[in-house]
């Protein structure tokens, strides 16, 4: 009997050790990286990103590892070894002279003018651009946008009420399908119809509140929306319905938007696939192929837009959580400048990396949502020093006055099909007059490690009590991520924020030479869903690291970034291009993004699609 008990304990330990050893051996033998260099003050040193090649864990191996990682044995041996495998102890060996910057809040060079006056001017500019672009010839299939809805509403057929009825039927169908879509996971027929009827009356009186009046929109579950449960992807939060809206939701209501419900997400935003096996959520399916992930953590928001349930959704982005699912689902996604859109009313999971942003069917619709949702909020201090909006000049016939920067070594770190398509998109931008400048983005491996330290360290800090009291309620993947976050020290965190100061400075220098930085959206297309993932989740560090590759720079330094679909893989999965600009300069993103849209010859219809306006 004693021997059996001993074997019961030893087998999982040995299995976990073997997996870690294999991961370490695989990484060392196949890593692409050059050796790290000790840095000197005032000198940028180029370090290549390392390929993370830890084996994918699911099923019993994943359960064993997740359990052991949160034991004394795991915390003192397994997780520290995992840190070394992934070079997360990097900053313990580097001297960084810069003072730390704990939030990427960089005031603009000048602040002048009234924010509300500039907002009104920006909305008028966007309205004119919409009218101009309406004359473009529509392909065989295209997503409905905001202007399509408002055109129907002004004509009176269908009305917002009729649209709401169609959406409710589509929501019911999406949950009865096999497999269920699991995009919008909380919705209320009475609430939807009440908002729709009010919007219908306003259009009848020819007095809509804004360009978003009657526009179907869903909001990520990380954000408070009355009267839904604020669960943030968990099975234990939000036991009572919310009684107060987040700032962005209040703005949507004031604009007359038709909020169709709250959308699914990766639990607590800790992953990039959208896999969520807990009882309230389930895994969102990719409308282009339901056997593939949507990406995360704003998984439901991306799926809802891609399948036609709504032309606009709201997400949060701490490590690509808007842009990764937008890329995987073939829609437009914006991570705004840190602090530009108030995050009041969302869980402060990572104080220094998360920005809000829209997911939309077009760049122009993303710009419209951005214009309406931006602005200082007394309850959100990080955006109080922002400049007024300036969207003039976002639509032009060419890009002759713009210089686009490309770090080709970084750019090419992606799958061959993605590289081929994105290179063609860059060539198209060049043909439209843009100058393409070769640049070198320094210290990308340091950025990668520092971002992980900041986001996981801040999550672990915020969730300290939840982790202790609701450990059994958390998904296995979340437990593993927080176990890693528990290993970071005060020294790691301070060093990471010293790196933030360096990174902000070198980007400032780069943006004196270029208007934008161009990369692929994601280095890979949407990953396949394994059956075992649906029961217990999975750990796939390699895919997570890969999907975040082009995302972390924007989150870590606060700069805005936009992903725009540019094509499809041979298996029909979407491919996107990313455009990044200096702080507060979303206008140039929209200008380049609209030109990128013209590169794509056609939009393929998703396998799951609801034609709400027909």
Instruction: Choose the catalytic residue: 220, 224, 251, 335.
Output: 220
Question: Averaged over 429-442, what is the pLDDT?
Answer: 98
Q: What is the CA radius of gyration of the chain?
A: 23
Q: What is the dihedral of CA 355, 451, 567, 524, to 10 degrees?
A: -140
* Domain architecture of the chain: domains with CATH: 115-133+143-444+509-599 (3.90.1300.10)
Q: Most distant CA pair in the chain: distance in Å? A: 81
Q: What is the pLDDT of residues 267-314, one digit of tens each?
A: 999 999 999 999 999 999 999 999 999 999 999 999 999 999 999 999
Question: Averaged over 28-42, what is the pLDDT?
Answer: 41
Q: Is 321 among the catalytic positions?
A: yes
Integer angstrom CA distances of residue 286 from 71, 177, 321: 35, 13, 15
Instruction: Please tell me the predicted confidence (pLDDT) of residue 136.
Output: 57
Q: Is 571 among the catalytic positions?
A: no
Q: Is 220 among the catalytic positions?
A: yes
**Can you say whether residue 42 is alpha, beta or left, with left for phi > 0 and alpha for psi between -120 and 50 degrees?**
left
Whether the upstream peptide bond of residue 167 has omega within 30° of 0, thus cis, is: no
Residue 157 burial (10 A CB sphere; 0-12, 13-18, 19+): exposed
Instruction: Choose the catalytic residue: 61, 199, 321, 481.
Output: 321
Instruction: Please tell me the predicted confidence (pLDDT) of residue 517.
Output: 99
- Sign of torsion over alpha carbons 208, 211, 215, 219: negative
Q: What is the pLDDT of residues 533-580, one digit of tens each?
A: 999 999 888 899 999 999 999 999 999 999 999 999 999 999 999 999
Q: What is the pLDDT of residues 482-530, one digit of tens each?
A: 999 999 999 999 999 999 999 999 999 999 999 999 999 999 999 999 9
Instruction: Choose the catalytic residue: 297, 326, 355, 362.
Output: 297
Distance, in Å, from the CA atom of 413 to the CA atom of 408, rounded to the nearest integer, reads 9
Three-class SS state of 120: helix
Token digits for 472?
Answer: 């059994």
Q: What is the dihedral of CA 208, 149, 177, 237, to 10 degrees?
A: -40
**Can you say whether residue 395 is alpha, beta or left, with left for phi > 0 and alpha for psi between -120 and 50 degrees?**
beta
Whether the upstream peptide bond of residue 297 has omega within 30° of 0, thus cis, is: yes
């Amino acid at each position: 009997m004693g021997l059996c008990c001993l074997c019961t304990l030893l087998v999982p330990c040995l299995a976990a050790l073997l997996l870690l050893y294999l991961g370490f051996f695989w990484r060392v033998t196949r890593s692409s990286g050059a050796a790290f260099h000790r840095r000197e003050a005032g000198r940028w040193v180029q370090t290549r990103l390392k390929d993370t090649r830890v084996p994918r864990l699911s099923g019993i191996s994943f359960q064993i590892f997740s359990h052991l990682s949160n034991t004394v044995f795991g915390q003192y041996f397994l997780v520290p070894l995992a840190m070394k495998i992934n070079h997360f102890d990097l900053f313990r060996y580097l001297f960084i002279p810069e003072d730390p910057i704990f939030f990427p809040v960089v005031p603009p060079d000048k602040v002048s003018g009234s924010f509300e006056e500039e907002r009104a001017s920006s909305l008028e500019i966007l309205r004119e651009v919409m009218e101009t672009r309406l004359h473009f010839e529509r392909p065989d299939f295209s997503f409905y946008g905001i202007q399509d809805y408002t055109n129907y509403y002004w004509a009176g057929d269908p009305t917002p009420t009729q649209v709401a009825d169609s959406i409710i039927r589509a929501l019911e169908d999406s949950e009865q399908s096999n497999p269920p879509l699991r995009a919008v996971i909380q919705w209320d027929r009475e609430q939807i119809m009440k908002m729709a009827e009010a919007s219908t009356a306003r259009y009848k009186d020819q007095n809509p509140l804004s360009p978003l009046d009657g526009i179907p929109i869903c909001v990520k579950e990380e954000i408070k929306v009355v009267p839904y449960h604020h669960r943030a992807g968990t099975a234990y939060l939000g036991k009572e319905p919310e009684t107060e809206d987040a700032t962005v939701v209040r703005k949507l209501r004031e604009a007359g938007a038709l909020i169709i419900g709250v959308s699914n997400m990766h639990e607590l935003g800790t992953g990039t696939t959208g896999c969520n096996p807990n009882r309230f959520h389930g895994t969102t399916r990719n409308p282009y192929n339901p056997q593939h992930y949507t990406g995360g953590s704003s998984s439901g928001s991306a799926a809802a837009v891609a399948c036609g349930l709504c032309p606009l959704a709201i997400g949060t982005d701490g490590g690509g959580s808007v842009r990764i699912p937008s890329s995987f689902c073939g829609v437009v996604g914006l991570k705004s400048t840190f602090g530009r859109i108030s995050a009041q009313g969302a869980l402060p999971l990572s104080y220094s990396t998360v920005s809000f942003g829209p997911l939309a069917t077009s760049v122009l619709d993303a710009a419209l949502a951005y214009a309406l949702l931006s602005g200082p909020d007394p309850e959100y201090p990080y955006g109080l020093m922002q400049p007024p909006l300036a969207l003039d000049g976002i639509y032009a016939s060419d890009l002759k006055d713009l210089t686009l920067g490309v770090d080709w070594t970084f750019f090419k770190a992606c799958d061959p099909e993605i590289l081929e398509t994105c290179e063609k998109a860059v060539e198209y931008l060049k043909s439209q007059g843009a100058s393409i400048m070769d640049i070198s983005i320094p210290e990308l491996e340091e950025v990668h490690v520092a971002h992980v330290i900041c986001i996981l360290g801040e999550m672990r800090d915020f969730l300290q009590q939840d982790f202790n009291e609701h450990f059994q309620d958390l998904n296995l993947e979340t437990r593993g991520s927080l176990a890693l976050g528990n290993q970071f020290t005060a020294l790691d965190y301070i060093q990471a924020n010293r790196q933030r100061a360096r990174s902000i400075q070198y980007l400032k220098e780069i943006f004196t030479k270029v208007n934008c930085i161009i990369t692929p959206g994601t280095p890979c297309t949407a990953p396949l869903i394994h059956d075992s993932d649906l029961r217990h989740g999975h750990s796939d560090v390699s895919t997570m690291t890969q999907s975040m590759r082009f995302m972390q720079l924007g989150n870590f330094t606060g700069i805005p970034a936009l992903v725009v679909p540019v094509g499809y893989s041979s298996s029909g999965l979407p491919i996107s291009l990313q455009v990044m600009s200096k702080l507060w300069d979303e206008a140039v993103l929209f200008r380049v993004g609209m030109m990128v849209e013209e590169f794509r010859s056609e939009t393929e219809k998703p396998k799951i699609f609801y034609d709400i306006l027909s």
